Amino acid sequence: MVLEGVGLHTGAASRVVLTARPGPVVLRSAGVEARISELSVVSSERSTTVQAHEGRLRVATVEHAFAALAGLGIRSDVVMDVEGPEMPLLDGGSRVWCEALASLGVSPAAPRLRITRAASVEVGASRYELTPGSGVDLQVVVELENALVGPFARWNGDVEDFIRRIAPARTFAQTRDLDELATMGLSRHVAPEAVVLLTPEAVHSFGRSFTPDEPACHKLLDLVGDSYLFGGPPIGRLRAIRPGHRANAAAFAQAVEQGVFRLERASSPTVS
């Protein structure tokens, strides 16, 4: 499968070839490839950028593609060959990624990351409350200056529910962010249908209808994608309050270091 578009922030043309191939999930760029376990987060400024092999492989805005992999339970047998500095924005969420990956016919597997004990991790204004459990239970609470936006989203690991409700949630911006984005030269080539713009009093969206929980669902989507780098989504309950890419990466790394997360063997029971 071939997916083409432009990057959310760079506006650069991007082409991704998805191929089914036995072995671990691999990210490849400019002839250099790395397994997911070899990737490290090197930037989380409004998106997640990963690299490997001392920077010879570097790809930005991977979270929507990784969310699709995690949401579908794909943990092996896929190569993602990227041409360009950034993954394409496509529909602004993970729906197109899910459709393309599902067409490869790769068998799903359970998540490998388990919450071992109750803990709370704080990163700046973000807080992550973790509790052991038998299944996936991700919860996101957002605080946005708009009464039309629902503050809560939840996902229990069900693949069909992810495809139907979480994957279509588009990236969003608030009007207070626009000056900063313009100053940084970011997000200049975004298709209106792929982004939701929030003002304190209104919601501006094009294409399909906006749903009140869409921003919270997109934050949950981002959390799922960021967790994939660590073997997620985690088994247990994770309640993320005011999450963001930078906080996601820091909180997961901290939880791994403190033993709150345990990475299990690939033969774990299937996800609920």
Confidence of residue 122 (pLDDT cuts 50, 70, 90): very high
Q: What is the pLDDT of residue 128?
A: 98
CB-hemisphere CA count at 13 Å for 10?
16
Residues in the chain: 272
79 and 21 in contact (C-beta within 8 Å)?
yes
Pairing assessment for the beta strands 40-43 and 261-263 based on DSSP bridges: unpaired
Distance, in Å, from the CA atom of 255 to the CA atom of 272, rounded to the nearest integer, reads 23
Nearest Cα neighbor of 65 from 228, 190, 189 is 228
| Percent with pLDDT over 70 in the chain | 92
For 255-272, what is each residue's pLDDT tens digit?
A: 999 999 999 876 533 333
Kindly list the distances between the CA atom of residue 154 and the CA atoms of 93, 117, 136, 140, 238, in Å, as whole numbers in the listed order. 16, 21, 10, 6, 10
Is the pTM of the predicted complex or chain greater than 0.85?
Answer: yes
Q: What is the pLDDT of residue 183?
A: 52
For 73-106, what is each residue's pLDDT tens digit?
A: 999 999 999 999 999 999 999 999 999 999 999 9
State the catalytic residue, choosing from 9, 64, 218, 245: 245
- At 104, the amino acid letter reads L
Q: What domains appear along the chain, each with residue ranges and CATH number? A: 2-263 (3.30.1700.10)
pLDDT, greater one: 184 or 178: 178
Q: What is the pLDDT of residue 180?
A: 57
Lowest mean pLDDT among 80-89, 184-193, 199-208: 184-193
Q: Tell me the average pLDDT across 164-181.
A: 80
Token reading at 199:
């003002």
Q: How far apart are the first and last CA of the chain?
A: 28
Is pLDDT at 109 greater than 70 in this prediction?
Answer: yes
For 5-57, what is each residue's pLDDT tens digit?
A: 998 888 889 999 999 999 999 999 999 999 999 999 999 888 899 999 999 99
Q: What is the pLDDT of residue 140?
A: 98
- 9 tagged catalytic: no
Q: Which residue has the tokens 């393309």?
A: 100
Nearest Cα neighbor of 82 from 3, 8, 23, 20 is 3
